[in-house]
Structure 1
Amino acid sequence: MKKAGPRTTKNAKATKYQPGTLPTREAILEAVSQFPDIDSKREIARHFGIKGDDRIALKVMLRDMENEGLLARKRKAIRVTSELPAVTVLDIPADADPDNLHAFPARWDEEEGEKPRVTVLAGKDARVVPAPGDRILARIQRGDELAPTYTARAMKVLDKPRKADIGIVRMDEDGARLVPIERKAREMRISAGDLGDAKDGDLVEVEVTLSGRLMIPRAKVISVIGNPRSEGAVSLIALHALDIPYRFPASVIAEAAEAQEATLKGREDWRDIPLVTIDPHDAKDFDDAVHAEPDTDPANSGGHIIHIGIADVAHYVRSGSALDREAWLRGNSVYFPDRVVPMLPERISNDLCSLREGENRAAMALRIVIDAEGNKKRHSFHRVTMRSAARLSYQQAQAAMDGKPDDATGPLLETILKPLWAAYAALAKARNRRGPLALDMPERRIRLDQNGMVVDVFVPERLEAHKLIEEMMILSNVCAAETLEKHRIGLLYRVHDAPSREKLTALGEFLKSLDLPVPRSESLRPRDFNQILYRAEKAGKSEQVNEMVLRSQAQAEYAPGNYGHYGLNLDRYAHFTSPIRRYADLIVHRALIRALGLGNDGLTEAEEGRLAAIGQHISATERRAMAAERETADRLLAQYLASHIGARFTGKIAGIAGAGLFVRLDETGADGFVPVSSLGTDYFRYFEDRQAMIGERTGERFGIGDRVEVRLLEAAPMAGALRFEILSEGERVKPPGPGRGRQRAKRPPIRTKHRPRR
């Protein structure tokens, strides 16, 4: 028999290696790539003519190449790890170095070996600047023809998918089932052996398997997340579903515990200025304090001097620290009816940085001079030590100004509160001249009992005290943006774009359908919208138009590029006043410290280079927080109304789609759905330009903002879903006739009974 030697082909020839030497990794990868039958250690050794003890060294080398992801093993077969496609989705780890980003494929077959590590490039001129924790769509470039080393440039930052397959365990006579939290998902059974340690009512993460010839989906519990009922936290569902971190790592807690109270060193002493905090009565942290006095300068007759103190979070949360990384990851605090998920640990947020009454606190402070008409004449920033003279609630301060002072506000009325209100009166004049968007959208609050159950839904009264603090904070934010622009330091603006042409066109068509005047200009200012709202109110169509004007607006975000704040009608605006609960404000504080030479803990050059990525990230965490708060409110209200099946409610149509109507109840603000199939015996069609559903034969019309009476048919608390039927009749208009409208509703058989989904 002929002795086997090094394998050769027509196009390539294997190199014969001398004893004690091994082929390079590149040579091995080339051989395995080109010759499909070289698929084992033995074949690789034969190909290169490796014998004896050198086979042991080759085995070690091949194992190292597997561990590094260069080779993959499926059973005993060896092959080159699959290449990434030219464009793919990557996940950047949350703990990645912001200055040296890396990522891994979002989807990867583990049989292909270890996930390849991808270096993410982001130059100064990059349109998309990703950050740790982001999921990106990226263009991939392979760095070497042989070894799969990759670099990537981000094309788009993607929304991360919600954590799928989580739900509530419910026990019944047949065993256990999973009630999903997703509204459109179906229940699944859980086999007895797949329940693990889960108990009735537990929120769990599951793995879905298919069983039987009919491939019926079944759930297997992977982990128990918690019990919303026992923890009194329906918000736990939203926290897990949206992947919101709510437990601080031990390193962050330890760093917060070691923090020491700031001293007077390097600070101005403002302890004699009687600043006061005015907040909600149940607030636990106080990050802003205010004071005002008449300006005695004869050149500014009737003017005012305003002092504002904001918690100096930058002193305690240094760039690159464990506290900083966790604050960036969270982006902001999240507020639920049953809990608060803070951006910073309690030692920082509720203690060292909380401007408590009578205690020395470090602050970033602002002195503003305004004239009698509320125009800002000048301002200056200071790093100070202050001492709050009083902790007041909005209701307390307002009651004192309305002639009902209490023991706390009585001594402050003449010296502190009245000067504050006088300064606010001037600022209100300036606000009215500026003409910001004046939408009337009341915000409902949910009050819970000690068991986490809804006991009340209410709209807090909008007081002058609220407006006073709001105007002073807006003015402070403008001052921060102006100062940083003047010193040419990078900053994160709070920007809000003008409505798009498409949305303005849709609004115009809607106004036309209501016989309201349509503005001719394609570029409307906020005061133009206010005119629209005023005319709608006079015509008795305020609710319809308020809803559509709100829908026409763009979403505010954080960005290093300035295009103004449309809603506030301001050319420049940057969040500065809430660094305890917003990372954007902390970045602005650091920028001011650097710009004004107020310490060595200012914005670093590395941070300045990442402002675009930081802005994208915290804009996303803000949207995530809003979604979590909204979904939790939906679940609490659905839970509250579940015992009212069959009850009648009044409300308004808050939205319309081809599938039906969305109705918001007056009393609770709960949103529910009315399927188009339940509107009546007519065929109803959706007219997008009119934001209405109109019957083809009768001309019965249901439009956005219409007042309706509904009956509750179904409530799914874990999904936060309600289903109604409309009892009131719609307005009669001219029937549209066949063939018109966007969608024709299909009419199912008439139902006589409605059974809630389990």
Structure 2
Amino acid sequence: MVKKKSPANPASDPYREREQQKYDNPVPSREFLMDFIADQARPQTRDQLGRALELEDPDALEGLRRRLIAMERDGQVIRNRRGGYVPVDNEELLRGRIIGHQDGYGQFAPDVGGERIYISPRDMRMVLHGDRAVVRVTGTNHEGQPAGILVEVLERANKTLVGRFHEESGVGFVVPSNKRLHQDVIVPGDAHKNAGNGELVVVQISQQPTVRRQPIGEVIQVLGEHIKPGTEIETAQLIYGIPMEWPEAVQKELQRIPDEVTEADKQGRKDLRDLPLVTIDGADARDFDDAVFAEPKPSGWRLVVAIADVSHYVRPGSALDREARNRGNSVYFPRNVVPMLPEKLSNGLCSLNPDVDRLCMVCDMLIGSGGAIRRSSFYRGVMRSHARLLYDEVAAMLVDGDQKLRDKHKTLVPHLENLHGLYQSLRKARNRRGAIDFDTTETQIVFDDNGIIQNIEPVERNDAHRLIEECMLAANQATARYLHKQKLPSLFRNHEGPDEDRLDNLNRFLAETGLKLGGGDDPQPADFAKLLRSVQSRPDKHLIQTVMLRSLKQAVYHPENTGHFGLAMDEYAHFTSPIRRYPDLLVHRGIGHVADGGKGPTFPVGKDELLSLGEHLSMTERRADEATRDAEAILKCQYIRDKVGEEFNGTVTGVTGFGLFVELDELYVDGLVHVTQLENDFFRFDPIGHHLTGERTGKVYRLTDRVRVRIARVDPDERKVDLAMLGTLDPNGELEEAAEGGDRPAAKRGGRKRGPKGGVKKQPKAESAKSDDGEPAKKGRRRRSGSRRR
């Protein structure tokens, strides 16, 4: 049966008003075209679409041509061999991003969400990690995972990369340092720029890979044989493609932005300059994007969260906006930051510095005594921060009663006490919701004046950290509700619960420990929280907590709200950090659109654009994580390389088929005890129980076991710390048993094949000290104070 065509009436385009706001000569919206093409009996050429839509004006036809080209570039449609357009994102065709694996195969992460799709090594020859593509779902692979084939490459992610140059039999090639880039880059004889064999280089890709040929490039910079101290951050930036230079167009736009807030900019805004708003951050923070104030009300509390109004200065379509979107977020390395916005804005005009007028976007909430948000409003304001306070000094005033500090800030102490009282209500509400709280340790790298690491130390969170975190969570929750109520197209911060496979593995592990997670096949956050509370007195609580944490997914940005599992919130969005996160800037623009009298659905951003943008911003967040972990791994190797031969106690933080990752006490550095460095035995790996078991001796090594090890080798270039096992520790910290032959070189262990060598383990991303994000805090490093990932 032939499908009947829908009437082609562009006047019925539901997004017509939005298009008229954006363009002088609007053509049918992307959404309308997608629906129209999908509703036809067969693919439509551009000429057929023009006739069907009755577009006769040359300008309209040219607009249609450009729109279809843009839609094809963005992967919304593809053209068949006859020039007919076919919509993507149906049951078979999907667009998204390639995720490479060092073994040659890949995965495909669709923009629309859902399960990742397996890509064979053959198809992976045509792409590199990070490329955007269209994939056709073809069935499942041998492990039952969805499988697909590559249909079209939409966008190449790698224009330059870092790796080691080698030459064999007259052929030059670069082995990428990023292990997800699984193909070597061929470097012709006249393009190696005198790079020596084994040297670290930057190569520019001139020809992307095809099914028959590897990528081809030329060396544009020689970095040397080793990563020099002081260059580890720049190297990580190059390896992961972190944008570092500001385009000339951005520089020109900055020249037109004033150095101070003008009187004209303050007009039409609510004046909050007399309200004692304060910022509370870490000692090394430089960009202050949130200020808070609370006062008691008969039914609870009023909470005002004022956020820097970046949207006033960074306009849609400007060079500043394009570069901010490209960067996605600021990247906080141990010693410096690669900002999303130029310093003139991030540390200057947009930063809520004390005693100066600043433009802000305000979330004004009434919160009940039980901690629930009763109502909220959003408006543009002008404010003046009354103080720049530090976490430690606020905690000292509120918790420790430091009289000297209380006298110093005596006019603000009553307002801080109000904030503390509100925090206690919000904390109770958090517990009632069943939000998941994992007990983890964050660390920071401390440098001396010469940039040399002095030590790595844990960061203690106090009530001031938690106070600000709860205020930001409340504002973000209120924002998500507002977006939903106003039907504003925007990005939500979604965090889904464990999928079926992860949940099955978690339940099998818990069964081995005599525990059970409530909720059956659909556990809720409260079930996780209840189980965590029940194991606090058990000696294996850290093991249980670690496995539970690893069962959860990573939070992502998406235009469809699915709630936040970790926070036990039905709605959640990012509002509180537009200086350093593009999603927050987008949310501010939507709120401003309504504040200016517009209706939510007419906000000029389409759902399909949001899908691509959400995927891109989730990618830039992951890219920042990988780059900062890599820089920290190099720094930590440099820190401990003079400790080779020394012995340390430590904790097993990872168990794999090739060995144990151990975090060293006091140093907070991970290294690998390779399986060949254990007892003279054959060890079997149990991925469900997270342990290795010796077949002959019965010796078991589990996640979170306490052990004693010796540092055997350190290689900063490869981010590797090799450890030798000396034995396990009993509950009193005494060496329980020496490893039988475990301290011998691998070459003397019977010729057993050696697997992957170990290094500084790339830890899951740590939540920062001022966090309002959805994933529970993970053990590991800390960004600089004030660099909140929310």
Give the match's secondary structure for 1:538: coil
- Structure 1 contact 128–157 (Cα < 8 Å) conserved: no
1:75 aligned residue: none
What are the within-5 Å matches in structure 2 for residues 6-405 of structure 1?
A: 100=70, 128=94, 135-138=131-134, 160=157, 166-167=163-164, 181=177, 196=193, 204-205=201-202, 221-224=219-222, 232-260=230-258, 261-262=261-262, 263-295=265-297, 297=298, 300=299, 303-401=300-398, 402-404=400-402, 405=404
Look up the equivalent residue of 2:233 and give its one-letter code: S
The C-alpha deviation readout for 1:234-261, integer Å capped at 9, x for no partner, is 1112111111111111211221232133
- Structure 1 contact 332–582 (Cα < 8 Å) conserved: yes
How much identity, in percent, do the aligned residues show? 36
Shift of 1:604: 4.7
2:639 aligned residue: 640
TM-score, normalising length: structure 1: 0.71
Quick one: distance in 2 between partners of 1:638 and 1:331? 29
Shift of 1:653: 1.5
The C-alpha deviation readout for 1:104-142, integer Å capped at 9, x for no partner, is 99xxxxxxxxxx9x99986797985669997233369xx
Distance 1:258 1:224, change over 3 A: farther
Quick one: distance in 1 between partners of 2:368 and 2:316? 38
Look up the equivalent residue of 1:136 and give its one-letter code: R
- Structure 1 contact 594–602 (Cα < 8 Å) conserved: no
Quick one: distance in 1 between partners of 2:710 and 2:130? 43
Quick one: distance in 2 between partners of 1:129 and 1:559? 15
- Structure 2 contact 95–135 (Cα < 8 Å) conserved: no
Quick one: distance in 2 between partners of 1:98 and 1:346? 38
- Structure 2 contact 487–601 (Cα < 8 Å) conserved: no
Quick one: distance in 2 between partners of 1:726 and 1:157? 49
- Structure 1 contact 128–156 (Cα < 8 Å) conserved: no
Distance 1:366 1:729, change over 3 A: closer
Indicate whether 1:447 and 2:417 are aligned.
no
Quick one: distance in 2 between partners of 1:446 and 1:541? 29
1:480 aligned residue: 479
Shift of 1:636: 0.7
- Structure 1 contact 715–723 (Cα < 8 Å) conserved: yes
- Structure 1 contact 122–153 (Cα < 8 Å) conserved: no
Look up the equivalent residue of 1:634 and give its one-letter code: A
Shift of 1:513: 2.5
Look up the equivalent residue of 1:317 and give its one-letter code: V
What are the within-5 Å matches in structure 2 for residues 411-422 of structure 1?
A: 411-422=410-421
Residue range with higher mean Cα deviation, 367-376 or 605-614: 605-614
Quick one: distance in 2 between partners of 1:156 and 1:166? 24
Distance 1:720 1:355, change over 3 A: same
Quick one: distance in 2 between partners of 1:454 and 1:502? 42
Distance 1:608 1:102, change over 3 A: closer
Which fold has the larger relative contact order, with Cα–Cα distance below 8 Å and residues 6 or more apart in sequence?
2
Look up the equivalent residue of 2:310 and give its one-letter code: V
Q: Where does structure 1 lack aligned partners over 5 or more consecutive residues?
A: 1-95, 106-115, 141-151, 170-176, 209-218, 732-745
The C-alpha deviation readout for 1:150-184, integer Å capped at 9, x for no partner, is xx997899995796552499xxxxxxx99984689
Shift of 1:515: 3.4
Quick one: distance in 2 between partners of 1:704 and 1:415? 47
The C-alpha deviation readout for 1:448-469, integer Å capped at 9, x for no partner, is 2333322111111111001111
- Structure 1 contact 659–676 (Cα < 8 Å) conserved: yes
Residue range with higher mean Cα deviation, 506-515 or 196-205: 196-205
Quick one: distance in 1 between partners of 2:519 and 2:88? 43
Shift of 1:519: 4.2
Look up the equivalent residue of 1:455 and give its one-letter code: Q
> Whose Rg is larger?
1
Look up the equivalent residue of 2:134 and give its one-letter code: A
Give the match's secondary structure for 1:630: helix
For the aligned residues, what is the CA RMSD? 4.2
Distance 1:492 1:680, change over 3 A: same
Quick one: distance in 2 between partners of 1:367 and 1:104? 38
- Structure 1 contact 315–601 (Cα < 8 Å) conserved: no
What are the within-5 Å matches in structure 2 for residues 622-633 of structure 1?
A: 622-633=621-632
TM-score, normalising length: structure 2: 0.69
1:650 aligned residue: 649
Shift of 1:472: 0.6
Look up the equivalent residue of 1:496 and give its one-letter code: H
- Structure 2 contact 96–134 (Cα < 8 Å) conserved: no
Shift of 1:197: 7.9
Shift of 1:596: 3.0
The C-alpha deviation readout for 1:716-742, integer Å capped at 9, x for no partner, is 1022111112111489xxxxxxxxxxx
Give the match's secondary structure for 1:633: helix
- Structure 1 contact 280–394 (Cα < 8 Å) conserved: yes
Distance 1:121 1:520, change over 3 A: closer
Give the match's secondary structure for 2:378: strand
Look up the equivalent residue of 1:484 and give its one-letter code: L
Q: Where does structure 2 lack aligned partners over 5 or more consecutive residues?
A: 1-65, 76-80, 98-110, 112-128, 137-148, 167-172, 206-216, 731-747, 760-790
- Structure 2 contact 684–692 (Cα < 8 Å) conserved: yes
Shift of 1:281: 0.9
Indicate whether 1:432 and 2:434 are aligned.
no
Shift of 1:317: 0.6
The C-alpha deviation readout for 1:698-728, integer Å capped at 9, x for no partner, is 1100011111111111111022111112111
Distance 1:693 1:678, change over 3 A: same
Indicate whether 1:663 and 2:650 are aligned.
no
- Structure 1 contact 198–204 (Cα < 8 Å) conserved: yes
Look up the equivalent residue of 1:425 and give its one-letter code: Q
- Structure 2 contact 95–134 (Cα < 8 Å) conserved: no
- Structure 1 contact 503–552 (Cα < 8 Å) conserved: yes
Task: Report how many aligned residue pairs link the two structures.
Answer: 603
Quick one: distance in 2 between partners of 1:294 and 1:414? 14
Shift of 1:351: 0.8
Give the match's secondary structure for 2:268: coil
Give the match's secondary structure for 1:728: strand
- Structure 1 contact 368–378 (Cα < 8 Å) conserved: yes
Look up the equivalent residue of 2:524 and give its one-letter code: R
